């Protein structure tokens, strides 16, 4: 059986809940399609999250890597096409705030996902879940994790499927924040199962 490393993030900024935390906990150990899910939670820290996920890849030796993050305010599941070599944005959970620095000094400006995005998108729409491809994962910790994973796999000549998916808020978070689009936690989790089912 193939192994999937599925990562989520802890809460960050002023969001007391991160729905990706619950999704990865719920799916840990599940067998979905050809894959056994191995879940890990990442810290929202610029200096730690990239090294952490690379350690997990080295320990677990997964056949594919899907990282999940919250994009509060987005109304759809968004499949990220590209990670950019830039760290910027609000303070992370340690209080560190990068100022547009490169993530990997001599790395490419951008790295494309190796997930089968079109296939995944079609699967989500067919299953009835609003989704689209996004051409920017931002410059915050999610983009950094996406970039670091793709860069690591390229450097180590591993042609695994890997990439990043942003999910909307769940209802509990929207109730807390007010006026942001939200999905039920159940729908978020099922949409992630659809994504896994559409890996090669």
Q: Does 80 participate in catalysis according to the annotation?
A: yes
Task: Tell me which residue has its CB nearest to ligand PCA.
Answer: 142
Q: Which of 151, 152, 166, 198 does the annotation list as catalytic?
A: 166
Q: How far is the CB of 157 from ligand PCA (least distance, A)?
A: 28
C-alpha–C-alpha distance, residues 181 and 74, integer Å: 7
Q: Which residues bind ligand PCA (CB under 6 A)?
A: 9, 12, 18, 20, 44, 69-71, 138, 140-142
Nearer to ligand PCA, 34 or 74 (CB): 74
Question: Which of 66, 65, 64 is CA-nearest to residue 2?
Answer: 64
Q: Which of 21, 80, 151, 152 does the annotation list as catalytic?
A: 80
Q: What is the DSSP string of 32-101?
A: ETTEEEEEEEE-S-TTTHHHHHHHHHHHH--SEEEEEEE-BTB-SEEEE-EEES-EESS--TTS---EEE
Q: Which of 38, 45, 86, 142 does the annotation list as catalytic?
A: 142
Q: How far is the CB of 200 from ligand PCA (least distance, A)?
A: 26
150: tokens are 């793709």
Q: Does 166 participate in catalysis according to the annotation?
A: yes
Q: How far is the CB of 54 from ligand PCA (least distance, A)?
A: 17
77: tokens are 């599941």
Catalytic residue numbers, as ranges: 80, 142, 166
């Amino acid at each position: 059986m193939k192994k999937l490393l599925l990562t989520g993030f802890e809460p960050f900024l002023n969001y007391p809940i991160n729905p990706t935390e619950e999704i990865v906990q719920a799916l840990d150990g599940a067998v979905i399609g050809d894959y056994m899910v191995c879940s890990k939670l990442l810290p929202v820290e610029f200096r730690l999250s990239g090294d952490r996920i690379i350690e997990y890849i080295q320990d677990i030796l997964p056949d594919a890597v899907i990282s999940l993050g919250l994009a509060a305010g987005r109304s759809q599941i968004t499949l990220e096409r590209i990670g950019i070599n830039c760290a910027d944005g609000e303070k992370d959970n340690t209080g560190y705030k990068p100022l547009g620095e490169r993530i990997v000094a001599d790395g490419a400006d951008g790295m494309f996902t190796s997930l089968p995005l079109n296939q995944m998108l079609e699967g989500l729409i067919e299953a009835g879940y609003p989704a689209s491809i996004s051409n920017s994962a931002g410059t915050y910790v999610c983009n950094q994790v996406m970039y670091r994973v793709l860069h690591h796999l390229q450097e180590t000549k591993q042609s695994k499927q890997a990439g990043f998916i942003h999910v909307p808020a769940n209802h509990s978070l929207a109730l807390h924040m007010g006026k942001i689009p939200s999905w039920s936690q159940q729908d978020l989790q099922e949409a992630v199962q659809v994504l896994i089912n559409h890996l090669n």
